[in-house]
Chain A
Amino acid sequence: MFADWPILSLLIWLPILGGFLVLAAGRDAPHVARRLGLAVAVATFVASLPLWFAFERGTADMQFQELASWIPAFNVNYHLGVDGISMPLILLTTLITVVVVIAAWESVKDRIAYYMAAMLVMEGLMIGMFAAMDAVLFYVFFEAMLIPMFLVIGIWGGPRRVYATIKFFLYTFLGSVFMLVALIWMYIQSGSFLIQDFHALQIGLTAQILIFLAFFMAFAVKIPMFPVHTWLPDAHVEAPTGGSVILAAIMLKIGGYGFLRFSLPITPDASAVLDTLMIVLSLIAIVYIGVVALIQSDMKKLIAYSSIAHMGFVTLGFFLAFYIYSNTGDWEGASLGIAGGMVQMISHGFISAAMFLAVGVLYDRLHSRQIADYGGVVNTMPWFAAFFVLFAMANTGLPGTSGFVGEFMVILAAFKADFWIAFLAATTLILAAGYTLWLVKRVIFGAVANDNVAGLSDMNRREFFLMGVLAFFTLLLGVWPAPLLDVMNATIDHLVAHIAQSKL
């Protein structure tokens, strides 16, 4: 019944226009800005629900398509559509935006209307990017979202915010312009900017490798992979809580989404040639960055490094496909790895959001992110401690939480590829447990460390609600991932069938 509605356009433009409305109406009235911002975010979330319910499972076709001519001179169209990969990410975006808007309720005091507007505009741009079927449209959304994020970190961030935000902008800009050249090159070859036409393009191996590297620059920076990850800890540490949540929960996923949408299907042969490199980089992220996370003294930095390590699992899952094929001669394990990576992305969206919110809760009270400033928080904030431990467990991949499902699937796929890959990947279970539980031990348990901690008050209703929602989804996905897998299966099978065919 929803198939004829321009639902994707609504999801893109409602928050963008709503954001400007918040700016206009709430500039001098913080209360109006908060309420209006929440109303727009909730309305967008509600409007995104039909995507889930009306989505036709069992087909890899693009659904909810919209098509309008946009730049006829270059054959660029306003072409939207979602499949099993992008649809869950859009829902994640609309949900997390609601969380972020509520989280900013009291903690953002300066220029709240601008903050709300930036978040809402960013939401619209991110949805547009996930829904774009045209490469130029994709690129426009992909780049445009840098502007609000640049402002969010730069205006509401911590002491080194200017350094962090310029680094963030230039890193991502650097990555994406090479992708632009690659997209244009493919347009010259195919005469169209439609991403699906790029998928069908026959490209020689040298060109494929160059295109792969161009995409790699764009998406590896975004996700981020070792060794281009260094912007992330800086950006996370300096960003305000909401900015960190958006960054970790959604923006990192854009890199993963890009690998699935562009790198694998457009350059399968180059992916097959370079998969060892990708697997090695993923394993470095998992093992080395995991060790780096252990020694952090700043909570946000620790979670940021943990994000990089978890994203290593995503790229590992994606690029195992060719390794598995050359080892076992069939593509079944490949689907498992890719599906595992996808589940990991969604799950990480909930868990990292919750972890950053938890740090935000503490930061709002004591204005410190240093682990050393805390200790024995459980004594004064029992509810908070309960949630914190839950999400810490999810972060380590405890069965029953969503963190387990994705990691388990990827490790299972890795076993089909090579025992040692699986072995190294599985070390994350130990490393993540190490850095996360040690964090819990130092912050939550033990004796009350100082007078500040003794004076802490537990979470209020608003914070409780946010944590509760995220905990619900973390557990739901942990015990019952089937609905999510159902949505993705057809698309992933189609993708694997596509990359199984050489373009040479």
Chain B
Amino acid sequence: MNFEIPNFLPAVPEMFVLGMACLILVIDAFLPDSRRDVTYGLVQATLVAAAGLTLWLMGPETVLTFSDTFVKDPMADILKVAVYVTSFLVFLYSRPYLMERGIHKGEFYVLGLFAVLGMMIMISGHNLLTLYLGLELLSLASYALVAFWRDNSRATEAAMKYFVLGALASGLLLYGMSMIYGMTGSLDIAVIAAQLVAADESLNIPLVFGLVFLVVAIAFKLGAVPFHMWVPDVYDGAPTAVTLFIATAPKIAAFAFLMRLLVEGMGPMHADWQGMLIILAVLSLAVGNVIAIAQTSIKRMLAYSTIAHIGFLFMGILAGTDSGYASAMFYVIVYAITAAGGFGMIVFLSRKGYEADQIDDFKGLAKRNPWFAFIMLLLLFSMAGVPPTVGFYAKLAVIQAAVGAELVWLAIVAVIFSIIGAFYYLRVVKMMFFDDPQEGAEEPVQPSGALATALSINGLAVLLLGIFPGLLLSLTHYAIIG
């Protein structure tokens, strides 16, 4: 049997992150509690260096390695950079939150780094097993992160829910994968696609059977209706720093996961999964936007808003065209940046013993700190999809994809629900600008230096990307279309 030494070069960023995660784990064990900033600094440096490596290795060609289980293409490169950037922001926002609560532990960062590694593998998986391994690495790290504030009973409860439902979804995914493997005889994404094209018609029913399980598992992981029940509970129960993490970068990885599995692998069955995604998209848009109106907790509100955004994401993918995939990719990156800023604002308003997780906590923010009220205004209008913020172009792109696929009715459903969505974002704007601060919270607030800078840059990025959306849009088109 010939044994070939695989080409390690495409996977250098992954190996680097793995090595650093192990190294930091060891270093952190020897650090006193007062020196946790060293861990923080190392983790951030790892992300920066990984971004450097990914950019250095970037190229227009598609490279397969490790017996075709691992792929590096422009989409993978760009999505990985997006994951690094959002994770970097998330860790930056989280630090003051963790410090104030006395839970500034190394585990947070190390688990986060392992989750980042899981995301990278999901993005580059080219084999059902690699994809599954990446997903599990991300999920296990996320469960632990939600639970890591041990003394907090709500967080523990959220972690239990997350774990049980996540494990169920993983089971469904494996079951679906085994069905597909049984019908096509391969775990390799490209081989599966080729087999599907050549597949006998009698295999159609078992294949669709397997496909349903794949789609359900993906819907579970992304939090699409009707598999969304865990999202509000986990977002609300987890410490805000962790919510910040699980609500942002993993969505980028989940997009890649969906692309690899459904588009590259099950692409020939587009007609079958398109219908399933339409149902998921419409339900997510409806339930997410309508139920968000009734929320009093801003974390739950943003959770339902995420569900609605997932509906939009599906709209881009189910169009089944390259420009649709590119628009979905643009959407997910924009979503991650905007959501990071939104949850970052909650971190900014919270203090020890005061979580600021109610919408009412935003009352009168314009009087307490006009600049950050403006930043939050930009973020909210971006989520609502109002120009000149970047959220508008994300919606424009996916609606364009849907109309291009002759799904005008779906585009109309989407815009109707986005009007309903606009209401609850506006309500927060109203509280910030038109209402007086709550009693006992009239004094001005000022975030610490790094948080203030990062939040400002995050908010202004939403505006600047909205005024100059051409570059990022071209980048996503390049990633998908070439």
Q: What is the interface of chain A, defined by CB distance below 8 A to chain B? A: 27, 69-74, 114, 136, 139-141, 143-144, 146-147, 150-151, 154-155, 161-162, 165-166, 169-170, 173-174, 177-178, 180-181, 184-185, 187-188
Contact = CB atoms under 8 A, between A and B. Distances in A.
B415 interface: yes
16 contacts: A71-B393, A72-B470, A72-B473, A72-B474, A74-B473, A143-B387, A144-B386, A150-B426, A151-B433, A161-B434, A162-B434, A166-B423, A170-B422, A170-B423, A181-B403, A181-B411
Contacts of A174: 419
B393 to A, nearest CB: 7
A146 B389 CA distance: 13
Given A70-B470, A143-B386, A154 B433 contact: yes
Contact of B408 (A150, A161, A185): A185
Nearest to A166: B426
A146 B476 CA distance: 29
A150 B474 CA distance: 32
B411 A71 contact: no
B404 interface: yes
Contact of A166 (B392, B430, B473, B476): B430
B268 interface: no
Contact of B396 (A154, A173, A184): A184
Given A154-B434, A162-B434, A181-B403, A144 B469 contact: no
A140 B434 contact: no
A184 B430 contact: no
A74 B397 CA distance: 9
B388 A144 contact: yes
Contacts of A184: 396, 399-400, 403, 411
* Chain A contact residues, majority secondary structure: helix
A80 to B, nearest CB: 15
* Chain B contact residues, majority secondary structure: helix
B189 to A, nearest CB: 27
Interface in B149-179: none
Contacts of B470: 69-73
Central interface residue in B326, B377, B399, by most chain A CB within 10 Å? B399
A184 B415 CA distance: 13
B366 to A, nearest CB: 8
Contact of B400 (A70, A140, A188): A188
Given A154-B434, A170-B422, A74 B400 contact: yes
A296 to B, nearest CB: 26
Central interface residue in B416, B422, B476, by most chain A CB within 10 Å? B422
Central interface residue in A70, A184, A188, by most chain B CB within 10 Å? A184
B430 A136 contact: no
B127 interface: no
B292 to A, nearest CB: 15
B477 interface: yes
B422 A173 contact: yes
A162 B404 CA distance: 38
Given A73-B326, A184-B411, 18 more contacts: A71-B469, A71-B470, A73-B476, A74-B397, A74-B473, A147-B386, A162-B430, A162-B434, A166-B423, A166-B426, A166-B427, A173-B422, A177-B418, A178-B412, A180-B396, A180-B399, A180-B415, A188-B404
A277 to B, nearest CB: 21
Contacts of A140: 387-388, 392
Interface of B: 326, 370, 377, 381, 386-388, 392-393, 396-397, 399-400, 403-404, 408, 411-412, 415-416, 418-419, 422-423, 426-427, 429-430, 433-434, 469-470, 473-474, 476-477
Contacts of B430: 154, 162, 165-166
Contacts of B387: 139-141, 143-144
B101 to A, nearest CB: 34
A170 B399 contact: no
A446 to B, nearest CB: 39
Contacts of B434: 154-155, 161-162, 165
A177 B423 CA distance: 14
Given A185-B408, A187-B400, A170 B386 contact: no
A140 B463 CA distance: 12
Contact of B415 (A151, A170, A181): A181
A73 B473 contact: yes
Given A177-B419, A178-B412, A181-B408, A73 B477 contact: yes
Nearest to A214: B412
B381 A147 contact: yes
B386 A146 contact: yes
A73 B394 CA distance: 13
A420 to B, nearest CB: 37
A162 to B, nearest CB: 5
Contacts of B400: 74, 184, 187-188
Nearest to B434: A154
B403 A185 contact: yes
A187 B401 CA distance: 11
A25 to B, nearest CB: 15
A154 B428 CA distance: 13
Contacts of B416: 177
B426 A169 contact: yes
A164 to B, nearest CB: 11
Nearest to A181: B411
A187 B415 CA distance: 17
Contacts of B473: 71-74
A310 to B, nearest CB: 29
A136 B412 CA distance: 18
Contacts of A139: 387
A146 B470 CA distance: 23
A288 to B, nearest CB: 28
A181 B326 CA distance: 19
B409 to A, nearest CB: 10
Nearest to B416: A177
B419 to A, nearest CB: 5
Contacts of A162: 430, 434
A185 B405 CA distance: 10
A420 B263 CA distance: 62
A33 B193 CA distance: 64
Contacts of A141: 387
Please give me the 9 A-B residue pairs with the lowest Cβ-Cβ distance, nearest first. A177-B415, A140-B387, A73-B473, A71-B470, A154-B434, A73-B477, A144-B388, A143-B387, A184-B403
